[in-house]
Amino acid sequence: MPGLPILHRDLTAALDEIEALIAEPELDQLRLSRVRLYISKVNGERRNKVDALCEELSRQATGVFAEQLAALRQSNIEKRIEYTVHVGTWGPREVAADWPGYCRASVTLARSIREQIAIEQALLCMTSESADPLALSDPRGYMGRQLPNQDIGAPHGHPSRPHLR
């Protein structure tokens, strides 16, 4: 299994791809299916890697760091449920029947996954040069700050999508 930074990079690229797809007014079912399958694979690998890292680190962690790891593991479980519900709700027929609804739901899910990645990077991938103490102060959120490349209403710098309104 690749390292967590590689999984984060690959998942972020896949989220960029799905966000480009949902910015389109018409559904490209084949391309969407391929991207969704890839996201599912990489996201599963990422969750498993995070679980393993948290378990390994929590053996020696104490104090605030141990609490952060426990919160991250719980958040990982919650994100797994959120992702599973999304995939279960939006099968190929449902996507084809309500493309704008799927797009709105996918924006929400992509934002949630990006927030989780930012937390994981802050907690599990940090070096002394890249550590962000604000990100670490609450592992279940990013202190209410806007995440890098997160544009409210137009996620990850993509133009707004009038067909979603």
d(CA 79, CA 63): 24
**pLDDT value for 61:** 87
Using alpha carbons only, what angle is made at residue 63 by residues 137 and 122, rounded to the nearest 5 degrees?
35
Residue 42 φ then ψ, to 5°: -70, -40
Determine the average pLDDT of the residues in 132-161. Answer: 44
**pLDDT value for 125:** 82
Residue 111 φ then ψ, to 5°: -60, -45
pLDDT exceeds cutoff 60 at 135? no
Tens digits of residue pLDDT in 15-66: 999 999 999 999 999 999 999 999 999 999 999 999 999 999 999 988 898 9
Tens digits of residue pLDDT in 91-120: 999 999 999 999 999 999 999 999 999 999
Could you tell me which residue, 8 or 132, shows the higher pLDDT?
8
Determine the average pLDDT of the residues in 148-161. Answer: 44
DSSP 56: H
pLDDT exceeds cutoff 70 at 148? no
Domain ranges of the chain: 4-164
Those residues with Cβ within 8 angstroms of residue 137's Cβ, 6 or more apart along the chain or in another chain: 143
Tens digits of residue pLDDT in 4-16: 999 999 999 999 9
